[in-house]
Structure 1
Amino acid sequence: MAISEEQLIKQHLPLVRRAALQLIARLPANVQLDDLMQAGMIGLLDAARRYQQMEQAQFETYAQTRVRGAMLDELRSQDWLPRAVRGKARQIELAIQKLNHQLLRPPTDSEIAESLDMEVGQYHELLDDAHGVQVLHYEDLHGGQDAGSAVELDKAGSTTPQNQLYIKRLREALVQAIGALPERERLLLSLQFEHDMTQKEISLTMGVSEGRVSQLRSQAIARIRAELGENDWTQSADEDILEKLI
C-alpha cells in the first residue's frame, strides 16, 4: 500500500535532526541548529512531494540528499563562513603546499607552525579559527549515482557528460588526497564519515580531547585542499559541485 506524503514526513523527522547535528558539528559556532533543521524540513517536505516509489529506490536515501542539500543551500545563503576565516584557512593551505614540495611528505604540526613563523600553540589556535571550512562528504567519494545523488547533481546543473567526467576525476583526486593524509587524520575522517561517530566518540576512541579532534579535522581538510590546489581543482571546480565533495 502506498505511503502518504504526511506519513513519509512523520516517519523521517528524526533524519532531519540527525543530519543537522552531523553537519553543525563541523561548522562554526555562529551557525544555529534550528536554522539547519528548518531548512532540512523544507528539504524533507520537497522530497516527500517529489518521491515516487520505485523498485530499488529507497525514500530515506533520496530524502537524505534532499535534506542535506537544503541545509547546504541555507548555509550558502547565509554566507556562513566569514572572509577572515577563509583567509586563515588559505594561509594554512599555502604553508602545507610549500612544505609538501620541500619535504616530499606530509609536514608535522611543528613544521607547519615554523613555516608560518608562529608557535605550535598559535598554529593550533589558527586551526580552531579555520574550523568549518568546507564540508567533506566521505560517502560521496565511493559510490555511484543513487536516486538522491542524481537529484543533487541535476540541481547543480552538472548532468552533462563533460561535468560527469569532471566530477568523476575530482572524486578520484579527493580519494588520492585522503590516502596521502597522515594515518591519524585518515582514521579521524574514517571514524567521522564511515562510522558516523560524534566528536565526543572520536575523542574517546583516539584518546585526545574534543578540541584536538576539531584541530586535526581542520588540518586534514587543509591538507586535502592543498593537495587539490596543486592541480587547480579548488580554483576550477564549480562551487556547487565542490561543496558536495569537500
Structure 2
Amino acid sequence: MARVYNQEKVTKEFDTWLEWKEHGSREAEIALVEKFLPLVNKVAMRLSIGLPNNVDKDDLISYGRFGLLDALNKFDYKRGLQFETYAMWRIRGAMIDGLRENDWIPRTVRDKAKKIEEAYTHLEQHLLRSPTDEEVSQHLGVSEKELKQVMFDTSLSSMLSIDEAVGDEEEQKIARHSYLIDELIISPESAAELHNLKEVLIQTIDKLPEKERLVVTLFYFEELTLSEIAEVMSLSPSRISQLHSKAIFRLRNTLAKWKSQLM
C-alpha cells in the first residue's frame, strides 16, 4: 500500500514538473516552490550551527531562496534524479556565496589567514611533512591560541561552494557543479584530467593527519554539520572548524602544486 502511495506521489510530482517546464504553468511553478521551500530552512538550520553569532539566520534563508529558485530552473526532471539532493547543494552554495559577497569576515582576519596558509606551504616544503600547530605558531610569531582563533574565524571561507568558479581569471569561468553533471559524452582529455585530479585529492586526503582526514570525510562525503562531527569525535565545534581549516590549507597547497605542473 505504501509503495503504491509513493509511486502516485512520484507520478504527481513528475506531472507538476511537466506542466511547468513544458507548458509554462504558473500554478505548477508555485506548487513546486511551495513544496521545496522547507529545504531552505533545513539547510539554513544545519549551516548556521557552525557559524559565528553575528551571522543572521534570516540572511541565510534569503540567500538560500535564490539558490532554490536557481535549482528549480536548472533541474532536468526527465533524468529521474532526486531534486532534493540537487537542490540542497545549490541552496547551501548560494548561502555560502551570499556570506562571502557581503564580506562578513574582517580584512585583518583574512590577511592573517593568508599568512597562515603561506606558513603551511613554506613549512611543508622545508620539513617535507605536515607541520604542527606549534611549528606554525613559532614560524608566525603568534600563540597557538591566536592561530586556532583565526582558523575558526575563517572556517566558512574555507568551505567550498558548488557554484564557485574555478580556473584562472583570464580563462573562461566554470562552476564546480559543472563537473558533477553526468554528461553523455566527455572528451578523453577532460576524462584524464578529472581522473588525475581525483587521484591527487585521494592521495592528499589519505596523507592528512587522522583527525583532519576524518573531518573532511564526514563533512564533504557524509554531509554532517560541524556540530554533528563534533559529537562524533567528542570535540568542540570550534576545534572541528580549526581541523577543517587546516585540512583545506593543505589541500589547496597540493592542488596548487598539481596545477603548476600542468602548465
When normalised by structure 2's length, the TM-score is 0.67
Structure 2 partner of 1:219: 246
What is the alpha-carbon distance in structure 2 between the residues aligned to residue 182 and residue 171 of structure 1? 19
Match for residue 148 of structure 2 among 113, 124, 137? 124
1:149 to 164, 173, 177: 177
CA distance in 2, matches of 1:175, 1:118: 32
Matching of residue 70 in structure 1 with residue 97 in structure 2? no
**1:57-83 Cα distance to aligned partner (Å, 9 max, x none):** 332244234323433442343234333
- 1:82 is aligned, of 106, 117, 121, to 106
Pair 1:172–1:30, CA change in 2 (3 A): farther
Partner of 2:124: 100
Tell me what 1:191 maps to. Answer: 218
Residue 162 of structure 1: how far off its partner (Å):
11
Question: Which amino acid is 2:59 matched to?
Answer: D
Q: C-alpha deviations, 1:99-135, integer Å up to 9, x for none? A: 2122222111112222222332332233234332331
1:143 alignment partner in structure 2: none
**Pair 1:200 & 2:227 matched:** yes
Which of 65, 72, 75 matches 1:41? 65
Structure 2 CA distance for partners of 1:13 and 1:74, relative to 1, 3 Å:
same
Query: Within 1, Cα distance between the matches of 2:179 and 2:116?
Result: 34
Matched residue count: 220
Measure the CA separation in 2 of the matches of 1:162 and 1:36: 40
Q: Tell me, what secondary structure is at the counterpart of 1:31?
A: coil
Deviation at 1:54, TM superposition (A): 0.7
Q: Structure 1 length normalisation: TM-score?
A: 0.71
Out of 9, 19, 29, the residue aligned to residue 5 of structure 1 is: 29
Structure 2 CA distance for partners of 1:25 and 1:136, relative to 1, 3 Å: farther
Q: CA deviation at 1:193?
A: 2.5
Does the alignment pair 1:16 with 2:44? no
User: Stretches of 4+ moved more than 6 A in 1?
Assistant: 160-163
Q: Which has the higher contact order (CA 8 A, sep 6+)?
A: 1
Tell me, which stretches of 5 or more residues in structure 2 are unaligned? 1-11, 17-27, 163-175
